[in-house]
Amino acid sequence: MGKKLGAEFFGTFWLVLGGCGSAVLAAKFGGDGNPLGIGLVGVSLAFGLTVLTMAYAVGHISGGHFNPAVSFGLWAAGRFPAKDLVPYIVAQVVGGLAAGFVLFQIASGTAGFQAGGFASNGFGELSPGGYSMHAALITEILMTFIFLTVILGVTSKRAPAGFAPIAIGLCLTVIHLVSIPVTNTSVNPARSTGVAFFADTAAAAQLWLFWLAPIVGAIAAGFYARWLQSDED
Angle at alpha carbon of residue 217, lines to 125 and 52, rounded to 5°: 90
Write down all domains in the chain, each with its CATH number in brackets.
2-107+115-232 (1.20.1080.10)
**Spatial contact of 233 and 78, defined as CB atoms under 8 Å apart:** no
**Spatial contact of 190 and 67, defined as CB atoms under 8 Å apart:** yes
Provide the residue-wise pLDDT of the chain in tens; the chain has 233 residues.
999 999 999 999 999 999 999 999 998 755 555 556 789 999 999 999 999 999 999 999 999 999 999 999 999 999 999 999 999 999 999 999 999 999 999 999 988 889 999 999 999 999 999 999 999 999 999 999 999 999 999 999 888 878 999 999 999 999 999 999 999 999 999 999 999 999 999 999 999 999 999 999 999 999 999 998 876 55
